Amino acid sequence: MGSDASIVQAARVSYGKGTKKLHEDRGLIRYLLRHRHSTPFEMCEIKLHVRVPMDTWRQWIRHRTANVNEYSTRYSIAIDAMQKTLPGEWRVQATGNRQGSEGFLEAAAGAEFSHREEELHTMARGIYDARLEAGIAREQARKDLPLSTYTEAYWKIDLHNLLHFLALRMDAHAQLEVREYATVIGREIVRRWCPLTWEAYEDYRLSALDLSRIDIEVIGHLANGRTAEALASVRAAGLLPPEGEAVKRHVEREELEAKLDTLGITVPWQRTA
Ligand SMILES: Cc1cc2nc3c(=O)[nH]c(=O)nc-3n(C[C@H](O)[C@H](O)[C@H](O)COP(=O)(O)OP(=O)(O)OC[C@H]3O[C@@H](n4cnc5c(N)ncnc54)[C@H](O)[C@@H]3O)c2cc1C
């Protein structure tokens, strides 16, 4: 429901005017998004029919601002499909980020885990089917199905809340599986549905940088060649220890380093990551 036109129409109701020329609509949408005027974006809604493995769905369903109806495995037989992992797709636990992964297992080792995954899926489904065959209730028979089992749902959400979902789930910190769904929703669906909004969203959210007071202070010093002052600001904010003490990892400092990288500014202290 709705389009870019519904967003500008809603925003202009406050002074009783409808859609104007395209470039004016574009400017208004960009202004609304930049200044976080959220309610006009709630005039657009989308309903998706999704098929998602249970572990990914568990993250997805945490977004409370959607309306959901999910396939019932109490009422119906569980979907006979599980998400499979190819030999080259087993990701290695990240060392720097406890929640993340980095790189892949060697394909030869991965092949063994893919093979065992196949065995596990077959066994779990076989036991489930046997329970149903024996007359065990669907609500209980399902309890040992793996999290890789697909579920389906209708998922309806307004554009404002969808953009919030996408900001969290397209982000590099989100798990790859949910990120892939979010990327398709964003770049394939929303981009075509509301192109002006998507363009503004790319510019002001996805490809934008949030700068804290500390970031601004440090970047201001570095951009003007005041390295000593920049270091003093970083130390004063507790992101670096006092001079002479061992430098340990610090999440906020690493985030600042990433921002400096994006801006093409050389980090003037030794990195730990
Ligand atoms: C990378 C990542 C890692 C995560 N790790 C964990 C984890 O380890 N453990 C864990 O439990 N969760 C984790 N989460 C889930 C996360 O904490 C949120 O629950 C989830 O992302 C939903 O975000 P949300 O509440 O902003 O979204 P929504 O539920 O869609 O809500 C959108 C916005 O509406 C408002 N809102 C909605 N409901 C309420 C309410 N009842 N009261 C007040 N305001 C409300 C809030 O402003 C909220 O931001 C993780 C999420 C991400 C993206």
pLDDT digits (tens, 9 = 90+) for 73-82: 999 999 999 9
- pLDDT score for 13: 82
Residue 47 banded pLDDT, cuts 50, 70, 90? very high
Ligand 1: centre distance to CA 24 (Å):
34
Task: For residue 149, tell me if it sits in a domain.
Answer: no
Task: For residue 200, tell me if it sits in a domain.
Answer: no
- Could you write out the three-class secondary structure of the chain? CCCHHHHHHHHHHHHCCCCCCHHHHHHHHHHHHHCCCCHHHHHCEEEEEEEEEHHHHHHHCCCCCCEEEECCCCCCCCCCCECCCCHHHCEEECCCCCCCEEEECCHHHHHHHHHHHHHHHHHHHHHHHHHHHCCCCHHHHHHHCCCCEEEEEEEEEEHHHHHHHHHHHCCCCCCHHHHHHHHHHHHHHHHHHCHHHHHHHHHHHHCCCCCCHHHHHHHHHHHCCCHHHHHHHHHHCCCCCCCCCCCCCCHHHHHHHHHHHHHCCCCCCCCCC
Task: For residue 29, tell me if it sits in a domain.
Answer: yes
- pLDDT score for 19: 58
Task: Determine the atom of ligand 1 nearest the C-alpha atom of 165.
Answer: 30
**Ligand 1 pocket residues where CB is under 6 Å:** 62-65, 161, 164, 168, 173-174
Structural domain of 18: 4-43
- State yes or no: pLDDT of 22 exceeds 90: no
CA distance 239 to 242: 10
Catalytic residues: 169
CA distances from 216 to 180, 208, 223, 250 (A): 33, 14, 10, 18
Task: For residue 223, tell me if it sits in a domain.
Answer: yes
- State yes or no: pLDDT of 160 exceeds 80: yes
Task: For residue 134, tell me if it sits in a domain.
Answer: no
For ligand 1, atom 26, the nearest C-alpha belongs to 63
- State yes or no: pLDDT of 98 exceeds 80: no
Residue 104 banded pLDDT, cuts 50, 70, 90? confident
- pLDDT score for 21: 67
Ligand 1: centre distance to CA 170 (Å):
14
For a ligand 1 pocket test, name from 36, 61, 65, 170 the mutation site with the most ligand atoms within 8 angstroms of its C-beta. Answer: 65
Task: For residue 250, tell me if it sits in a domain.
Answer: yes
For ligand 1, atom 24, the nearest C-alpha belongs to 63
Task: For residue 160, tell me if it sits in a domain.
Answer: no
Ligand 1: centre distance to CA 63 (Å):
6
Task: Determine the atom of ligand 1 nearest the C-alpha atom of 64.
Answer: 29
Task: For residue 158, tell me if it sits in a domain.
Answer: no
Residue 16 banded pLDDT, cuts 50, 70, 90? low
Count up the domains in the chain and report the number: 2
- State yes or no: pLDDT of 215 exceeds 70: yes
Q: Is the distance from CB of 38 to CB of 149 less than 8 angstroms?
A: no
- State yes or no: pLDDT of 223 exceeds 70: yes
For ligand 1, atom 15, the nearest C-alpha belongs to 62
What average pLDDT does the segment 118-145 reach?
97
